[in-house]
Structure 1
Amino acid sequence: MSNANAPAASPSARKLAEEKGIDLASISGTGPAGKITKADVENAPAGTPQPSPDTSAPADEAPAPDDAIAASPLAKRIAAQKGLDLSTIKGSGPGGRIVKADVENAEPGGSGGAAPSSSPANSAAPDTKSPSAMPMDGLEAPFEVQALNGVRKVIARRLTEAKQTIPHIYLSVDVHLDALLTLRGELNASLEADGVKLSVNDLLIKALARALMRVPACNVSFQGDDMHRYSRADISVAVAAPSGLITPIIRNADGKGVSEISSEMKGLAAKARDGKLQAHEFQGGTASLSNLGMFGIKHFDAVINPPQGMILAVGAGEQRPYIVENSVQQATVMSVTGSFDHRAIDGADGAQLMQAFKDLVEKPMGLLA
């Protein structure tokens, strides 16, 4: 209900006075005919609270229980909307009066019990370094901010560049793995005295390198108006390190024996996990291999590592029904997907590389030649 005896004031002045808990009657207006302006309210000294509500109001305007607490009408309205108990809020206005900012900064938990509304734009900024300091407003889970390390920044930049600028084409094949597993067992038995133990990944590195030599159109990189075609296969192998994914390189993998690849890969992986790789040990490479089979991942599409032209994504070997010698048999099969830079590598060339890789794994004696 409006008050006929209220002093003349602009709407913005009334709103500001309400927010600040200032009695307009205590302010001298400088506007036309003594009208109170927004500037008058802004310049008003502290200590001019609005008078307490008139307790002689009619029954239909009787104050609510919270009205016994010194608070501006706007603060009371916001508290009611947010379900806050005014008795739990400390006022920062004149004489301890609760004003708008006090209510907006208050957290739920009073006797009101209503669900909180969205965090207001003017609320105090939380300490984003501490999970316990995050506002529990029901919209966002507590979190802490972690600055990106140098490796993670490079990963983010390069992978964003790859997905935004490289037109990827994906080609997948299923590979019968049993012959490779048998050969690996035989090789490990013969090399045990030398302290060498080959992994499946060591043999796959060799298979990719040999396949690139058979299909040189895929051992390339796109370089703007030029394309680089490489005469050897330097295979970058994805390794998970504490600082982030890194790809140490087996250089000239096509020309090395599988035992040499195995020993070199173990050393590079250990240095990667300890953060001791030198720049020349992970910069460069003509193609990449990423193997997530040890985590049980069946199939995935990897992002090309620019400026390379392709990356091979290797899934887990698992028992599946598979056609062997014209009959369906149970066999160990893995799914492999090649991601190719379509600017440099045509689909037919990529398909030939995938076929060459499949043949080398399924007839693995070719890896020892």
Structure 2
Amino acid sequence: MASAPAAIDGHRTFASPLARRLAKEAGIDVAAVSGTGPHGRVIKKDVEAAVSGGTAKAAPAAAPAAQPAAAAAPAAPKGMSDDAVLKLFEQGSYELVPHDGMRKTIAKRLQESKQTIPHFYVSVDCELDALLALRTQLNDSAPKSKDGVPAYKLSVNDMVIKALALALRDVPDANVSWTDSAMVKHKHADVGVAVSIPGGLITPIIRSAEQKTLSTISNEMKDYGKRAKERKLKPEEYQGGTTAVSNMGMMGVKNFAAVVNPPHATILAVGAGEQRVIVKKGEMAIATVMTVTLSTDHRAVDGALGAELLAAFKGYIENPMGMLV
């Protein structure tokens, strides 16, 4: 019968079945016994010598019995240490940039999110031609000051914010936050919008966006964006919210999935609008199409509910006049 391996300090030790049994009965660690058999295998006399000489280490404590499924999950393994990472690169070939408080906070929250929230993803393509035409019409009709400055200038992102807010109004079961004891159902759609700033990003919130006009949303976002880059936002302007939008379309990104930022249960990742060949009534046509991906906390918003929310969002994007009434 082949010897079964034991391990100590990462090395395998081979022992005969009899030696293993005797070591177990004696309460010693067979991996700590010096073997004199072929290729260093531990045999009966080695165990007996170790017992009589008192040189063997005690056997390690038995592993605890398997816990039921409800037991807490083990801690996630830690990443490489600073020294271990730096040893991989030649000295002088890099510069160390210490993490500031914002970067550390973002890293901690996103790591916790991916470790503790069961993410689920739903994507849909939205045709933008009607929305782009309405946006042009609304911007052209914006009142102007004496200096010729328009009262507002709508962006596609402003209209995405409004469409998501209205979709959450129409699908209220998706406008929620998860807690261990209850589902928090929100009465308004407070839409956070990811804004990139030096050292990370921040998410100012358009409160009750479902009730606000497109021009109000546009001007609030313009103000938030300016003050975010100056780091002048107040905590109440970026804390909380019921959902979020992350738009990388202006960077040419076609499709991506964002990380849910609790207490939100959803976040919408918005890709670039681009001309694509589509089929309408059996014939090929060219349309401006945008891919969006909804990330959800599956505990609060499951696949079917997420799909219902995206369908409502798509309806407002493709029939944008509905956002004006």
2:307 partner SS:
helix
Question: Quick one: higher RCO (CA 8 Å, sep 6+), 1 or 2?
Answer: 2
Q: Distance in 2 between matches of 1:330 and 1:140?
A: 54
Matched with 2:136 is: 185
* Mapped pair 1:173 → 2:124: yes
Query: Which amino acid is the alignment partner of residue 303 of structure 1?
Result: V
**Which 4+ stretches in 1 moved above 2 angstroms?**
137-141, 192-195, 323-327
Instruction: Kindly provide the amino acid, as one letter, of the partner of residue 183 in structure 1.
Output: L
Identify the residue that residue 248 of structure 1 maps to in structure 2: 204
Mapped pair 1:150 → 2:101: yes
User: Paired residue for 1:271?
Assistant: 227
Q: In the alignment, is residue 284 of structure 1 matched against residue 240 of structure 2?
A: yes
Q: How does 1:2-21 map to 2 (within 5 A)?
A: none
Paired residue for 1:159? 110
**TM-superposition CA deviations, 1:76-103 (whole Å, max 9, x none):** xxxxxxxxxxxxxxxxxxxxxxxxxxxx
Q: 1:353 — aligned with what?
A: 309
Q: Does 1:306 align with 2:262?
A: yes
Cα shift at 1:327: 2.6
Question: In structure 2, how many angstroms separate the alpha carbons of the residues matched to 1:314 and 1:212?
Answer: 17
CA 1:312–1:140 in 2, change beyond 3 Å: closer, same or farther? farther
Change (3 A) 1:145 1:356: same
Question: TM-score of the superposition, structure 2-length normalised?
Answer: 0.70
CA, structure 1 residues 140+234, in 2 after alignment: closer, same or farther (shift >3 Å)? Answer: same
**What secondary structure does 1:316 align onto?**
strand
- Deviation (angstroms), 1:192: 4.7
Matched residue SS, 1:208: helix
Alignment of 1:182-261 (within 5 A): 182-193=133-144, 194-261=150-217
Deviation at 1:195, TM superposition (A): 2.7
Deviation of 1:307 (Å):
1.5
1:243 deviates by 3.1
Secondary structure in structure 1 of the residue aligned to 2:227:
helix
**Any gaps of 5 or more consecutive residues in structure 1?**
1-125, 129-133
Q: How far, CA to CA, are the matches of 2:250 and 2:128 in structure 1?
A: 15
Equivalence for 1:109:
none
| Cα offsets for 1:146-201 (capped at 9, x unmatched) | 22111111100100011000000000000001000000000001115243110010
- Structure 1 residue 141, shift from structure 2 partner: 7.3
The CA deviation string for residues 287-318 of structure 1, in whole angstroms up to 9 with x for no partner, is: 00000000000000000011210000000000
Describe the shift of the 1:258–1:145 C-alpha distance in structure 2 as closer, same or farther (beyond 3 A): same
Distance 1:158 1:338 in 2: 19
Which residue type is aligned with residue 324 of structure 2? L
Q: How far has the Cα of 1:255 moved from its partner?
A: 0.3
Residue 266 of structure 2 aligns with an amino acid whose one-letter code is: M
The CA distance in 2 between the partners of 1:335 and 1:143, in whole Å, is 37
8 Å Cα contact 2:189-2:207 kept in structure 1 = yes
Question: Contact 1:168 / 1:339 at 8 angstroms: preserved in 2?
Answer: yes
Query: 2-side partners of 1:140 and 1:254: how far apart?
Result: 54
The residue aligned with 1:75 is none
User: In the alignment, which of 288, 293, 304 is matched to residue 337 of structure 1?
Assistant: 293
Inter-CA distance 145–327: structure 2 relative to 1 (3 Å threshold): same
SS in structure 1 of the partner of residue 300 of structure 2: coil
With normalisation by structure 1, the TM-score equals 0.62
Quick one: which amino acid aligns to residue 94 of structure 2?
A: F
SS of residue matched to 1:172: strand
Structure 2 letter corresponding to 1:158 = R
SS of match in other structure, 2:142: helix
Partner residue of 1:327 out of 283, 303, 307 = 283
Distance 1:220 1:282 in 2: 18
Where does the alignment leave 5 or more consecutive residues of structure 2 unmatched? 1-82, 145-149
State whether residues 173 and 337 of structure 1, in contact with CA within 8 Å, keep that contact through their aligned partners in structure 2.
Answer: yes
Query: CA–CA distance in 2 between the matches of 1:260 and 1:213?
Result: 18
Q: CA RMSD in A?
A: 1.9
State the alpha-carbon separation in 2 of the partners of residues 367 and 229 from structure 1. 23
Query: Percent identical across equivalent pairs?
Result: 53
SS at match of 1:263: helix
Indicate whether 1:318 and 2:269 are aligned: no
Measured after TM superposition, the shift of residue 140 of structure 1 is 7.0
Alpha-carbon separation, structure 2, partners of 1:213 and 1:304: 20
Larger CA deviation: 216-225 vs 137-146: 137-146
